[in-house]
Amino acid sequence: MSRARGELEALARRLGPLARAGVALGPLTTYRVGGPAALFVEARTRRDLLAVRDALAGTSVPVLVVGKGSNLLVADRGFEGLAVRLAPVEPSEFLGLSIDEDPAGPAGAMVVRAGGALGLPVVARRSVDAGACGLEWAVGVPGSVGGALRMNAGGHGSDVAASLRRYGWLELAAEAEGEGDLARLAPAYRHSSIGPTEVVLWAEFAARAGEVAAGKAALAEIVAWRRRHQPGGSNAGSVFTNPPGTSAGALIDAAGAKGLRLGSACVSRKHANFIQADEGGSADDVRALMERVRTMVEASAGVRLESEVRLVGFEDQVSEGAS
């Protein structure tokens, strides 16, 4: 027995019923393709996370923190480690949402506090329903609160960094946890300081009082825009970050890659920076098409595109993606 396999089996014994073996990760991502995790834990409480941290102590087992999987591509062979997800359905400590006036802020200031497993569209819609404005952009981001912080998700003229006040975190690879603010997050374009084994428990966002009708109109406009300009189906949104001064989609289109197909994956004809996977398709096909597109753009424009998608389990992968 290999050392890695032995460590996984020992970890499974320590975690007991908290862990499951061979859970398919593909269905937990928006690509809907990819293989299983050797071990999988769905944490419903902070106590569950502490149990995971204790069980991992002294091991070299790789850890993957999974949110909504909207920026994740798992290889067909799967992930030979422990995948951890905050439970996205009740009962779960990580789905709370409170929307209150900010007594320390100026008139009309509000605070939206959301659990790390809550979906951003839910946060956006429920905030508007409560008369809190400023987070409407989040309705178009299919990730979780935790995943959004890790990649400084954004769209429609705003991002996490524009409104984040503070957040709670817990590290799975060391005995560390606490609260952070925007300075600790150190946000950049589709990137932050949150590490691969750090779990975001909750986040607080600044908002302002506004008209519910106006907020709902803004939500509807964003949703309609995305339907007009972005494809549906199985994808992870934008595959590559936009290089300075241009868009990845324009470069891909100019390179002649729009509509390009490789096996069960194809470059969207609606938006060239989206790669779609066929139902029952292959994650390895998606990855191979990403590399084909990157090569074509580099040959055409002299620009090497950087991936927004986090790649997991691929033998030749390099560290890419934010969440």
Instruction: Say which DSSP state 243 is in.
Output: P
pLDDT range class, residue 211, cuts 50, 70, 90: very high
Q: Tell which CATH classification among 3.20.20.370, 3.90.78.10, 3.40.640.10, 3.40.190.10 matches the domain 231-312.
A: 3.90.78.10
What's the farthest any 2 CA atoms get from each other in the chain?
A: 65
Residue-wise pLDDT for 240-283, tens only, equals: 999 999 999 999 999 999 999 999 999 999 999 999 999 999 99
Instruction: Say which amino acid occupies 162.
Output: A
Please report, for residues 73, 172, 235, 301, 311, the alpha-carbon distance to residue 305 in angstroms, rounded to integers and kept in the order given. 17, 32, 18, 10, 15
Dist CA 63 CA 55 (whole Å): 12
Catalytic residue annotation? 190, 238, 308
Nearest to 297 by CA among 250, 232, 237, 227: 250
pLDDT range class, residue 315, cuts 50, 70, 90: confident
Look up the CATH number of domain 3-86. Answer: 3.30.43.10
Residue-wise pLDDT for 26-69, tens only, equals: 999 999 999 999 999 999 999 999 999 999 999 999 999 999 99
Other beta carbons less than 10 A from residue 13's beta carbon = 10
Length of the chain: 323
* β-bridge partners, 166: 181, 204
Please report, for residues 83, 193, 293, the alpha-carbon distance to residue 240 in angstroms, rounded to integers and kept in the order given. 25, 20, 10
Cβ contacts of 209 within 8 Å, gap of 6 or more: 101, 108, 109, 110, 131, 132, 133
**pLDDT of the residue at 2:** 80
The arrangement of secondary structure in 97-210, i.e. its CATH architecture, is 2-Layer Sandwich (3.30)
Residue-wise pLDDT for 280-298, tens only, equals: 999 999 999 999 999 999 9
- For residues 165 and 111, the answer to whether their CB atoms sit within 8 Å is yes
Q: Provide the residue ranges of all domains of the chain, joining segments of one domain with +.
A: 3-86, 97-210, 231-312
Within a 13 Å sphere around the CA of 198, how many CA atoms are in the beta-carbon half? 23
Cβ contacts of 305 within 8 Å, gap of 6 or more: 240, 241, 243, 248, 251, 252, 293, 294, 297, 298
